[in-house]
Structure 1
Amino acid sequence: MTQQTAGTASLVRTGAGLTSFRLDGAGPPLILVHGLQIGQELFDELRGHLVPRFTVITYDQRDRGATTFGPSTYTTDDLADDLAALIRALGFARTHVLGTSFGGMVAQAFALRHPELLHGLVLGATSQSPFRAERVAAPVAELLGALERGDEKRARALLARMAPAVAPADAEGAAGARSDEGDRLVRRFAAARSFDTRGRLGAIAAETLVLHGRDDTVVPLRDALSLAGELPRADVLVLAGSGHAWENEQPARAAAAIGAFLTAPAARR
């Protein structure tokens, strides 16, 4: 296994890039896969509740945090391959994988592309096809259309209007803001614009926990139930009183359920 100090940020080469990761705890390895806009710090609260039972690995995907890849386009399949490269670089034969929101899409792609590396799977607040036409709001549809046309200038402008914090900072802007943040987020949106695993999840043999906040207004509960209905070995946990950010709204409760599921007797698997 690559040498690192537990609990500290480290870098490891994963294919054409360097991936920033953090490893804490002891026990079976569990990798947490973050969402679209925020990096591995998303799991700062959840991590503390998981480390008594697992070796918890968090990492920054492409265009997040301290991870560095060349500025090129990529897909969720590429991000799944990055995850596989990280697992191999860290010396693990198999790991549990937890992905939430956009990270849940990466986790689905990983489970389909690299089943030999997967032990148990947790899919939180995610969807099989989040950008299908009948459910995408007008601003997002316009952004996706610009990406499809290859009009990155228009895509950056739309993204800056939807999320002003990603617009380039002026001379008096927030200290430390990245001037290329719009470009980075455009690439991440583009990676998921055609994501669709409908009709494909029956190939995933891993025991899977589908976890969703009952009050999630970003990804509807019906998406989670549809996803679970296609997975051959899925349980569903709906967290009352939680929305899309379940990992920070109810970290202790979620971690207890995740731990119980992933450490169930081997006969379950």
Structure 2
Amino acid sequence: MKSMTQITVGDIDINYKIKGSGKPLLMIVGLSFSLLDWGNKFTELLAQNYQLILFDNRDAGLTSPSPRPYSIVDMADDAAGLLDALNIPKAHVFGVSMGGAIAQQFALKYPDKLDKLILGCAMAGGNCSQMGDISGVMSGNLLDLLFTPTFIKANSQELTEFLAETTPLHSRDAALQRQIQAFASHDTCDTLSDIQATTLIITGDKDIAIPRSNSDLLAAKIPNAKLEIIVEAAHGFSYSHADTTADLIRLFLHQQPNPEKRL
């Protein structure tokens, strides 16, 4: 099943796409990005086993601009509202970067809607985290933000074409500022221990945007979490290392949880 359309959720119209079949997997993208930024290869790999729900956050892609300032919790409400509108009672959730912040808040506020949780290159925010260099979002120099120099050199033509397709849908101006302000409000430093979902944390060892230390902290504070580090990968690891990332996710989602591990 493949479709792309809009559905009203609260005060916005969310652009979404359903891809593949199987257990639902809600995919929450990061700051400024649209659902196209996942890339075709990665989503095709996951769609072999799961029903992917891809969508644009408010103020990004083809989803409505937000009529008001908002928080990461509000964006988690958007995600939960999308599942409700699609009549999906429960899903796995994978959030990357700012999407990982949204996924944390989703896990805390909507535990009954969450099966397993996957956090990619994410952070807890607040005063317990270390933000790296995200200036590329504002300057448009996304290649250096997302990928290692080696990957860029080896895939320059493909990446040029990819950015030509995706960049027009990125957040800009007031919309981008609202997303940045929402991301700045994110703080789960004192509530990570309340996340009860079985959790996989994935990051790249060369991430300059949200350094690996943030994933180490998430893994230490979330009770039932496993950390996977992808070697020679940066912030855009799900694109540059699509096979590895998809394999890690499929293995994690296929495994049965062990209740004895939960503290």
Q: Give the TM-score of the pair, scaled to structure 1.
A: 0.80
- Letter aligned with residue 26 of structure 2: I
Query: What stretches of structure 1 move > 4 A for 4+ residues in a row?
Result: 131-140, 266-269
Q: CA deviation at 1:71?
A: 2.7
Partner of 1:65: 61
Q: CA deviation at 1:194?
A: 2.4
- Whose Rg is larger? 1
CA RMSD of aligned residues (A): 2.6
Partner of 1:37: 32
- 8 Å CA contact 2:132–2:209 kept in 1: the answer is no
Please give the residue correspondences for 1:71-150 in structure 2 after superposition, counting only pairs within 5 Å: 71-129=67-125, 132=127, 135=130
Once the two structures are superposed, residues 56-91 of structure 1 have per-residue CA deviations (whole angstroms, 9 ceiling, x without a partner) of: 110000011111144310100000000000011111
Q: CA deviation at 1:7?
A: 1.9
Please give the residue correspondences for 1:9-20 in structure 2 after superposition, counting only pairs within 5 Å: 9-20=4-15
Partner of 1:25: 20
**In the alignment, does 2:191 pair up with 1:196?**
no
| Aligned CA distance change for structure 1 residues 119 and 15 (closer, same or farther; 3 Å) | same
Q: CA deviation at 1:218?
A: 1.2
| Aligned CA distance change for structure 1 residues 139 and 47 (closer, same or farther; 3 Å) | closer
| Aligned CA distance change for structure 1 residues 133 and 88 (closer, same or farther; 3 Å) | closer
Q: Measure the CA separation in 2 of the matches of 1:103 and 1:134.
A: 16
Partner of 2:237: 246
| Aligned CA distance change for structure 1 residues 253 and 74 (closer, same or farther; 3 Å) | same
Unaligned runs of 5+ in 2: 142-163
- How many residues align? The count is 234
**In the alignment, does 2:42 pair up with 1:51?**
no
Q: Measure the CA separation in 2 of the matches of 1:43 and 1:228.
A: 24
Structure number with higher relative contact order (C-alpha < 8 Å, ≥ 6 residues apart): 2
- 8 Å CA contact 1:16–1:69 kept in 2: the answer is no
Once the two structures are superposed, residues 129-180 of structure 1 have per-residue CA deviations (whole angstroms, 9 ceiling, x without a partner) of: 1x7599557997xxxxxxxxxxxxxxxxxx99x4268xxxxxxxx9x969x8
Partner of 1:258: 249
Q: Give the TM-score of the pair, scaled to structure 2.
A: 0.82
- Letter aligned with residue 109 of structure 2: R
Partner SS, residue 57 of structure 1 = strand
Q: Measure the CA separation in 1 of the matches of 2:130 and 2:257.
A: 39
Percent identity between the two aligned chains: 28
Partner SS, residue 8 of structure 1 = strand
Q: Measure the CA separation in 1 of the matches of 2:178 and 2:242.
A: 30
Q: CA deviation at 1:265?
A: 2.6
Partner of 1:216: 207
